Structure 1
Amino acid sequence: MTTRLPAAVLWDMDGTLVDTEQYWMAAETELMEAFGLPWSHDDALELVGSGLWDGAAYFQAKGVDLDADTIVNRLTERVREQLEEHGVPWRPGARELLQALREASVPTALVTMSVRSMADDIVAAIPFEAFDLIVSGDSVENAKPHPEPYLTAATQLGVDIVDCVAIEDSPTGLASAHASGAIALAVPNFIPLDGLPAAALWPTLDGTTVDDVAALLTIREVTA
């Protein structure tokens, strides 16, 4: 049994808890095609982990003649439609680790740049009380890679961010977690995360335990 647990574990959503990046990429492709504009997989990778309104500005620069809120709403609703049609694609080991953390009484927060309505859809699909808090992209002034989302989560949970573990799958998300002072855990999905600032790089969450997460606090203390 571990002697010291994280003050909280802060979870990214798209690409970390759920494998929805494929849905976002499909929605982005449809949006660009509707305006007769080219869009590649490499283009889509540029937006992984970004805030939705930052992404909207990117689409506008590419030639999408819509206001930012309309772009955000259109993409979000298309992703929600795919979730309804195909179901929630969980990342390997994510729900299992989340449940184990809850059973160990570790506070958890979902820190996502998706809007609150979509976050609520994902959380509603989890068959246990998964999170104490949701910080969404439409509830912060500054999106990832700014540290505000993670600092907001720690403040609202009433814990010190330096004692929190933040799990991320993108360079943008890792930059946010690292800048906040959290112990950043990199679990890559679409984009390699080698060489980026993180306390650890795990290839998957499958088979990981609460003790594995708690050990990250010790790693920081030893290397500090």
Structure 2
Amino acid sequence: MHLTRFRLNAARPGARKLIASPQALHAAVMSSFPDLLPSAADQPRVLWRLDRNGNAELQLYVVSAGRPDLTHLVEQAGWPAAAATGTPGWRTYGYAPFLDRLGKGDIWNFRLTANPVHSVRVRDGQPTKRTAHVTTRHQIDWLLGRQEIGGFRIQEKPQDRRHTEHGDLHQLVVRDQRSLEFRKTGSKAPVTIKTVTYDGRLEVTDSDALRKILTEGLGKAKAYGCGLMTLAPLAT
């Protein structure tokens, strides 16, 4: 497994096009793997996430079984001149050693961009419809409901920092809520996806289950930048 980080140059038109369209960015990411066939149903899952840390700080993260070649992304949305001097424009790390070291009881900061949805039935007798959670409380509950199957437990705040009247019990922040609308190739009907980014702190309760989440994703819309959770050490 590999973890790759690529910084987009927000000043370039090609980067702005990719930022505006999860469909275009998905295609660009998949084009980084020459051995993957777009029509193959059993190919390894490729996860990606676009972090917006500021107007000029846009980081693309990719988790994949194969090692990607992002040369085309550098030319379209990076810094080609810098790449020509020997800086490739992206960094790829072996992910397996980190995953193998995960152990029960470990505590990590985490980030996850997800598509929190639930199924509702508008009228009796009609099929259920997938609907996005729109309130912060429901979005938090969506993630809390996936702790056991995901092999993690989100840490609670110390007693003196809790706001129980608002349900604010966990070391978890929901931010960067976005509604993305685009059209799939060959389709006239628009696709709308609501995404949110979670920042928080978790404890590993089942390392095998968490490794599965880190490499296969959590929730829906994985092809469009959702589902990728990454871990970071606690600040010293």
Shared fold (TM-score greater than 0.5)?
no
- Pick the TM interval, shorter chain: under 0.3
Higher Cα radius of gyration:
2
Normalised TM-score (structure 1): 0.25
- Relative to its length, the structure with more helix (as a share) is 1
Normalised TM-score (structure 2): 0.24
- Relative to its length, the structure with more strand (as a share) is 2
